[in-house]
């Protein structure tokens, strides 16, 4: 009997090890093509998660604000918890999870994702949800995000989802099996190249401009969580020229912010004050800002955070200064690398 | 609930746990409950059909046996006073009463089968509003459980098995979930021997069952479902994909059908084994058959046996055919006169076999073509045997291989009727192989555009080689027994290897359309 139990345990161990190795091999590494899948997990590697400002949202946050610039200009210790097409319920659960590590003074939420009442894309779900550490927040985020063709068990055992990648494995899949690749600077995804905004496609008329119940529900939950935790919630709309941000949408957010006494900044309306020039400050014709644009946004918004929200200057904190100094080296190195890459 | 779904794996896990722990004393009752849950998961309305069938065969079985028992009792009580002639008349009357119950029961059950499987689709062509009702009207696995239920009541009538007095036990025989949707079509005498017994957990037997299930998953997920998209693409557009594409379809569908159906049956038998229940084998390396006749003894064995036992024998021994046999011998002479009634009975069997597979002309023509080729084989057997004897070919490997290949090609061609919706499309597509002149598509990468990448082809090819190797090894004895006798480390290596291969290389999850087993549609 004892021998049998030992054998069973050995078999289970071997299976666990093999499944773990296969999972690590087959999961997308988000290194060379789509790097956004790496953004969420980088937060956990932060040695000090004592951030005063945390941004939540989709590409309109992680490409449009430079935390490094905010640190350099105002000593604001901030982080962006955003990923591609991150839905509002995912932002909510990331905020909830963030609070389990540390309570920020300000939570900045980009309201672009209010337009979605259901998850639109399974691959985007995976990019946000897979890198999250297991917690009640992750479980709830998965349950809120799953599309009809998804199964919860695929999140518990990602190999069930990604096993079909066996035929498209690259050298990087082996290289990054047991290590990760850092792609962001405190959640900011840097691009320094320039592609001026040209003709922006005309906005399509919608049959209904109302945001959905689920989207509102999670905005309410986010607001209530911030109230409970003593966090100031700031709503923003990043200055992306496309996809179109409708006036009807803006009015709904403005009313909501007024109703609950929240700050709401639509950067599309203050882009001249920020100093944005869409001939030089975007790398994809107006969808997202490049480094130049993101740093201008950081200067403008950092001033707001400092003056209106009372976010402290932490440059007196030597431990933090040391961390940011290391980050600055990497930040500047990437700028140099991209200069070479884009021949600038 | 697809056998290859997470839901089914969870369902099985819970069943195994309860079966060998809490419900050890009531295992068959647990199986009945799980069978009904499994069936209701497809659609709750299906339970009405299966319950009705169960009730009818239960009542008919008991009545048939009751009449028989009463008559025996009566004859015993009057054995001294009854004349031989009166006894004969009485027995004929008893048989007639039993037959009435049998026939009524068969008419009701086959009436339902005909109604939902053949009449309802015709009604659909007149009234499209009925289409949403399709899932409710045509119950899952009705073709299989109706044959099984009919087999039971006929066996009771023949006195082969006693009528089951416990309605629940009979309900389990009809609804036993692993074999409900694609067989095998079990006989009551075979399945009941282990279905109702108490089974203690035996790790060796349990693991052997799981091993068989995994082998089934390998065939279904790694081979059949990987080939599936290409088969569906070619057969789905017969106007566009002709010639070389049809040739590819012939081979690939034959492989897919084998991997899918035998894989499904492996899962069924494996589940049975894990529960301590013996389910009949349904295949015996059919693609190694040297003749079509042999093939039909080795493919879908339980269906063929059903038609042989319950259609062929009764038809060939019926009074009408006996009379026809006499007439035939008188008219055509002894040799031909003897064969013609057999061929006629066989014709009926193959017509019904075709119809059982589906309501379309495709299936009828498929059945009749099988009949024609089998009859041709019978007629030419003597001549070919003589020739083989004379030329001393019979024992030569090359000749054996030729016969296997010939049968395989024949089966491939016949399988084409499964792929298309009409006889016209099937024949047109088949002829296009010879007159389209585009055989280059087999090698120029065109097939890679149809849902199977080069990597998929390589993987499916390796999978087929593994299946072939296993079949070849099985000729010299059971491979599974050999594995069972091997050291634990070697056994574990096989199990873990198989598990990892299915896990990584199986065609399941996002990006793949979960497909039902092919035989489920028949």
Chain segment A8-36, per-residue pLDDT in tens: 899 899 999 999 999 999 999 888 778 88
Chain segment A260-311, per-residue pLDDT in tens: 999 999 999 998 999 999 999 999 988 899 999 999 999 999 999 999 999 9
Report the candidate in B169, B172, B174, B166 with the shortest Cα–Cα distance to residue B146.
B174
The question of ipTM being above 0.90 is answered as no
Tell whether A17 is within 8 A of chain B (Cβ). Answer: no
Q: What is the mean pLDDT of residues B56-83?
A: 89
Residue B86 and residue B253: Cα distance in Å, rounded?
61
CB A158 within 8 A of CB A130: yes
Tell whether B453 is within 8 A of chain A (Cβ). Answer: yes
Tell whether B505 is within 8 A of chain A (Cβ). Answer: yes
Q: What's B73-132 look like in SS3? A: HHHHHCCCCCCHHHHHHHHHHHHHHHHHHHHHHHHHHHHHHHHHHHHHHHHHHHCHHHHH
- Where is mean pLDDT largest: A177-181, B462-466, B509-513? B462-466
A–B: how many Cβ contacts below 8 A? 52
Residue B121 and residue B127: Cα distance in Å, rounded?
10
Residue B352 and residue B331: Cα distance in Å, rounded?
28
| B509 closest CB neighbour out of A19, A160, A166 | A160
Chain segment B140-169, per-residue pLDDT in tens: 889 899 999 999 999 999 999 999 999 999
- Give B21 to chain A, closest Cα distance, Å: 18
Contact B510 A14 (CB under 8 A): no
The pLDDT value recorded for residue A293 is 95
Residue A35 and residue A31: Cα distance in Å, rounded?
5
Least confident of A328-337, B259-268, B483-492: B483-492
| B504 closest CB neighbour out of A22, A151, A161 | A22
Is residue A225 exposed (0-12), middle (13-18) or buried (19+ Cβ within 10 Å)?
Answer: middle
Dihedral angle computed from the Cα positions of residues B410, B413, B417 and B423, in that order, rounded to the nearest 10 degrees: -110
Chain segment B388-437, per-residue pLDDT in tens: 777 777 778 888 899 999 999 999 999 999 899 899 999 999 999 998 88
Chain segment B334-352, per-residue pLDDT in tens: 777 788 888 888 999 999 9
Q: What DSSP line would sit under B450-512, residue for residue? A: TT--HHHHHHHHHHHHHHHHHHHHHTTS-HHHHHHHS-HHHHHHHHHHHHHHHHHHS--STTS
B chain contacts of residue A163, beta-carbon cutoff 8 Å:
503-506, 508-509
Residue B514 scores a pLDDT above 70: no
- Please provide residue B279's backbone torsions phi and psi, each rounded to the nearest 5 degrees: -110, 140
Dihedral angle computed from the Cα positions of residues B287, B292, B294 and B298, in that order, rounded to the nearest 10 degrees: 50
Residue of B nearest to A9 (CA): B492
Least confident of A78-87, A156-165, B480-489: B480-489
Residue A163 and residue A161: Cα distance in Å, rounded?
6
Contact B492 A14 (CB under 8 A): yes
Report the candidate in A158, A117, A118 with the shortest Cα–Cα distance to residue A134.
A158
Q: Is B119 left (phi over 0), alpha (psi -120 to 50) or beta?
A: alpha
Sign of CA dihedral A58, A61, A66, A67: negative
Residue B205 and residue B220: Cα distance in Å, rounded?
23
Q: Is B336 left (phi over 0), alpha (psi -120 to 50) or beta?
A: alpha
Residue A109 and residue A95: Cα distance in Å, rounded?
10
Is residue B148 exposed (0-12), middle (13-18) or buried (19+ Cβ within 10 Å)?
Answer: buried
Residue of B nearest to A149 (CA): B510
Residue A233 scores a pLDDT above 90: yes
Q: Sorting pLDDT into bands at 50, 70 and 90, what band is B517?
A: low
CA–centroid distance for A234 within its chain: 16
Pick B331 or A326 by higher pLDDT: A326
Residue B521 scores a pLDDT above 80: no
Least confident of A123-137, B14-28, B69-83, B174-188: B69-83
Enumerate the β-bridge partners of residue A56: A81, A109
DSSP-assigned letter for residue A168: G
Contact A19 B503 (CB under 8 A): yes
| B503 closest CB neighbour out of A150, A163, A167 | A163
Q: Which of residues 153-192 of A touch B (CB under 8 A)?
A: 153-154, 159-161, 163-164, 166-167
Chain segment B12-35, per-residue pLDDT in tens: 999 999 999 999 889 999 999 999
The residue behind tokens 């089974």 is B199
Report the candidate in B132, B139, B140, B196 with the shortest Cα–Cα distance to residue B164.
B196
Chain segment A94-122, per-residue pLDDT in tens: 999 999 999 999 999 999 999 999 999 88
CA–centroid distance for A85 within its chain: 9
Residue B8 and residue A330: Cα distance in Å, rounded?
50
Contact A166 B505 (CB under 8 A): yes
Residues 6+ apart with CB under 8 A from A65: A55, A78, A80, A188, A238, A294, A297, A298, A301
Q: What share of chain B is helix, strand, coil (3-state, %, to 5)?
A: 80, 0, 20
Gyration radius from chain A CA atoms? 21
Q: Sorting pLDDT into bands at 50, 70 and 90, what band is B248?
A: very high
- Please provide residue A233's backbone torsions phi and psi, each rounded to the nearest 5 degrees: -95, 125
Contact B505 A122 (CB under 8 A): no
Q: What is the mean pLDDT of residues A179-207?
A: 89
The pLDDT value recorded for residue A201 is 80
The angle formed by the CA atoms of residues A151, A155 and A161, to the nearest 5 degrees, is 75
Gyration radius from chain B CA atoms? 25
B chain contacts of residue A26, beta-carbon cutoff 8 Å:
504
Residue B45 and residue A106: Cα distance in Å, rounded?
56
Pairing mode, strands A232-237 and A78-82? unpaired
Q: What is the mean pLDDT of residues A304-328?
A: 93
Contact B6 A153 (CB under 8 A): yes
- Give B445 to chain A, closest Cα distance, Å: 17
Tell whether A44 is within 8 A of chain B (Cβ). Answer: no
Chain segment B93-144, per-residue pLDDT in tens: 999 999 999 999 999 999 999 898 888 877 877 777 777 777 777 788 898 9
B chain contacts of residue A122, beta-carbon cutoff 8 Å:
510
3-state secondary structure of A277: coil
- Give A87 to chain B, closest Cα distance, Å: 21
The pLDDT value recorded for residue B515 is 57
Tell whether B487 is within 8 A of chain A (Cβ). Answer: no
CB A139 within 8 A of CB A3: no
Residue of B nearest to A5 (CA): B203
The pLDDT value recorded for residue A137 is 96
Among residues of chain B, what percentage have pLDDT more than 70?
97
Q: What is the mean pLDDT of residues B55-73?
A: 93
Residue B428 and residue A329: Cα distance in Å, rounded?
71
Enumerate the β-bridge partners of residue A289: A282
For the record, the structure tokens of A330 come out as 């990497």
| A18 closest CB neighbour out of B496, B506, B507 | B496
Task: Report the mean per-residue pLDDT for chain B.
Answer: 89
The pLDDT value recorded for residue B86 is 86
The full set of domains in chain A, from first to last, is 29-198+205-341 (3.40.50.1110)
Q: What is the mean pLDDT of residues A163-184?
A: 89
Is residue B398 exposed (0-12), middle (13-18) or buried (19+ Cβ within 10 Å)?
Answer: exposed
DSSP-assigned letter for residue A85: T
For chain A, the maximum distance between any two Cα atoms, rounded to a whole number of angstroms, is 78
CB A129 within 8 A of CB A83: no
| A11 closest CB neighbour out of B459, B492, B510 | B492
B chain contacts of residue A153, beta-carbon cutoff 8 Å:
6
Mutate: best of A8, A130, A160, A173, partner B, most B CBs <10 A: A160
3-state secondary structure of A263: strand
Mutate: best of B502, B509, B511, partner A, most A CBs <10 A: B509
Please count the residues of chain B: 522
- Give B2 to chain A, closest Cα distance, Å: 15
B chain contacts of residue A10, beta-carbon cutoff 8 Å:
492
Tell whether B203 is within 8 A of chain A (Cβ). Answer: yes
Contact B505 A160 (CB under 8 A): no
Q: Sorting pLDDT into bands at 50, 70 and 90, what band is B176?
A: very high
CB B354 within 8 A of CB B364: yes
């Amino acid at each position: 009997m004892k021998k049998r139990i030992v054998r069973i345990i050995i078999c289970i161990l071997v299976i666990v090890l093999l499944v773990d190795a296969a999972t690590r091999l087959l999961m997308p590494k988000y290194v060379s093509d789509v790097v956004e899948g790496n953004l969420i997990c980088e937060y956990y590697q932060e040695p000090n998660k004592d951030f005063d400002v945390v941004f939540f949202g989709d590409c309109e946050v992680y490409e449009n604000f430079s935390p490094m610039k905010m640190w350099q200009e105002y000593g604001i210790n901030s982080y962006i918890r955003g990923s591609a097409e991150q839905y509002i319920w995912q932002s909510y659960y990331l905020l909830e999870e963030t609070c389990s590590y540390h309570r920020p003074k300000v939570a900045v939420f980009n309201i672009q994702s209010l337009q979605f009442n259901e998850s639109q894309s399974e691959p985007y779900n995976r990019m946000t949800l897979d890198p999250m550490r297991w917690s009640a927040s992750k479980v709830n985020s998965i349950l809120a995000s799953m599309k009809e063709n998804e199964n919860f068990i695929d999140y518990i055992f990602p190999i069930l989802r990604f096993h079909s990648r066996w035929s498209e494995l690259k050298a990087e899949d082996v290289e990054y099996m047991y290590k990760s690749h850092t792609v962001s600077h405190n959640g900011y995804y840097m691009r320094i190249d320039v592609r001026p905004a040209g003709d922006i496609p005309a906005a399509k008329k919608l049959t209904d401009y109302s945001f959905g119940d689920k989207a509102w529900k999670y905005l309410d939950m986010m607001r209530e969580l911030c109230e409970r935790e003593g966090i100031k919630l700031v709503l923003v709309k990043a200055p992306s020229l496309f996809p179109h941000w409708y006036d009807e949408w803006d009015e709904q957010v403005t009313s909501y912010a007024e109703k609950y006494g929240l700050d709401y900044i639509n950067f599309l309306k203050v882009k001249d004050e920020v100093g944005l020039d869409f001939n030089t400050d975007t790398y994809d014709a107006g969808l997202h800002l490049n480094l130049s644009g993101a740093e201008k946004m950081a200067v403008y918004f950092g001033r707001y955070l400092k003056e209106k929200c009372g976010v402290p200057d932490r440059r007196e904190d030597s431990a933090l200064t040391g961390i940011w100094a290391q980050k600055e080296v990497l930040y500047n190195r990437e700028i140099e690398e991209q200069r070479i890459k884009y021949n600038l | 609930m697809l056998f290859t779904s997470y839901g089914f794996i969870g369902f099985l896990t819970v069943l195994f746990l309860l079966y060998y722990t809490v419900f050890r004393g009531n295992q068959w009752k647990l199986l009945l409950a799980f069978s009904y849950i499994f069936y209701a998961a497809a659609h709750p309305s299906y339970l009405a059909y299966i319950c009705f069938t169960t009730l009818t065969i239960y009542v008919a079985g008991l009545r048939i046996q009751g009449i028989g028992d009463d008559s025996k009792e009566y004859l015993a009580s009057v054995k001294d006073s009854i004349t031989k002639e009166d006894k004969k008349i009485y027995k004929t009357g008893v048989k007639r009463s039993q037959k009435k119950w049998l026939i009524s029961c068969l008419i009701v059950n086959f009436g339902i089968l005909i109604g939902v499987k053949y009449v309802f689709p015709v009604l659909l062509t007149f009234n499209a509003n009925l289409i949403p009702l399709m899932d409710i009207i045509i119950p899952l696995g009705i073709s299989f459980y109706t044959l099984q239920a009919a087999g039971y009541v006929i066996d009771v009538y023949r006195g082969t098995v006693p009528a089951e007095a416990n309605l629940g036990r009979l309900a389990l025989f009809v609804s036993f979930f692993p074999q409900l949707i694609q067989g095998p079509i079990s006989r009551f005498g075979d399945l009941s021997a282990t279905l109702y017994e108490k089974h203690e957990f035996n790790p060796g037997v349990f693991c052997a069952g799981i091993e068989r299930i995994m082998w089934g998953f390998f065939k279904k997920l790694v081979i059949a479902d990987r080939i599936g998209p290409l088969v569906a693409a070619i057969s789905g557009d017969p106007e566009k994909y002709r010639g070389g594409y049809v040739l590819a379809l012939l081979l690939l569908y034959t492989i897919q059908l084998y991997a899918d159906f035998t894989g499904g049956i492996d899962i069924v038998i494996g589940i049975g084994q894990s529960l301590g229940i013996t389910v009949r084998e349904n295949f015996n390396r059919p693609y190694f058959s040297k003749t079509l006749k042999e093939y039909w003894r080795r493919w879908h064995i339980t269906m063929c046996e059903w038609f042989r036992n319950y259609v062929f024998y009764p038809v060939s021994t019926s009074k009408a055919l006996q009379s026809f046999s006499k007439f035939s011998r008188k008219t055509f002479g002894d040799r031909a006169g003897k064969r013609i009634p057999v061929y006629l009975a066989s014709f009926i069997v193959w017509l019904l076999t075709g119809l059982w597979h589906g309501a379309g002309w495709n299936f009828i023509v498929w059945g009749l073509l099988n009949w024609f080729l089998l009859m041709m084989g019978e007629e030419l057997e003597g001549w070919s045997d003589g020739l083989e004897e004379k030329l001393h070919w019979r024992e030569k490997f090359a000749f054996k291989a030729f016969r296997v290949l010939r049968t395989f090609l024949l089966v491939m061609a016949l399988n084409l009727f499964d792929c298309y919706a009409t006889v016209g499309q099937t024949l047109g597509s088949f002829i296009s192989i010879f007159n389209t002149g585009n055989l280059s598509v087999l090698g120029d990468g065109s097939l890679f555009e149809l849902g199977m990448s080069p990597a998929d082809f390589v993987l499916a090819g390796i999978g087929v080689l593994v299946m072939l190797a296993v079949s070849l090894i099985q000729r010299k004895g059971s491979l599974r027994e050999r594995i069972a006798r091997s050291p634990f480390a070697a056994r574990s290596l096989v199990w873990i290897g198989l598990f990892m291969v299915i896990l990584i290389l199986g065609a399941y999850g996002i990006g793949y359309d979960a497909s039902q087993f092919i035989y489920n549609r028949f």
